[in-house]
Amino acid sequence: MLQAGHFIAGRHNNNLFNERGCHAQCYNCNVNLRGNTLEYRRQIIKLYGEGADEEIEAEARITRQFSVSELEDFMEDLKQRIKELDGQD
């Protein structure tokens, strides 16, 4: 079973929903290897380009207060994207 592995460990609110910093990880990498950060960093750079890892780290240092409507919009967007991936739309 896969888990949501975050490039920046912890519950930093600004990167908690950052799609570039959250990917599927196996239990071993996410828990036992504490995120397997060196390999995770390599994959971030491979996926998004040179410097993307540093951008995600910089974004994590920003404190952000999400409004209820922002979170509701985010949730609706994800629901729509799931439907599209499932071929329901």
Give 16's pLDDT tier (boundaries 50, 70, 90): confident
> Distance between CA 80 and CA 66 in Å, rounded?
20
Contact assessment for residue 41 and residue 20, using Cβ atoms and an 8 Å cutoff: no
pLDDT digit string (tens) for 50-64?
Answer: 999 999 999 998 888
**Does the pLDDT of residue 10 top 80, yes or no?**
no
Say how far residue 69 (Cα) sits from the centre of its chain.
Answer: 20
* pTM as predicted: 0.79
Looking at residue 89, what is its pLDDT? 60
Any idea what the Cα angle at residue 71 is, between residues 64 and 8, rounded to 5°? 50
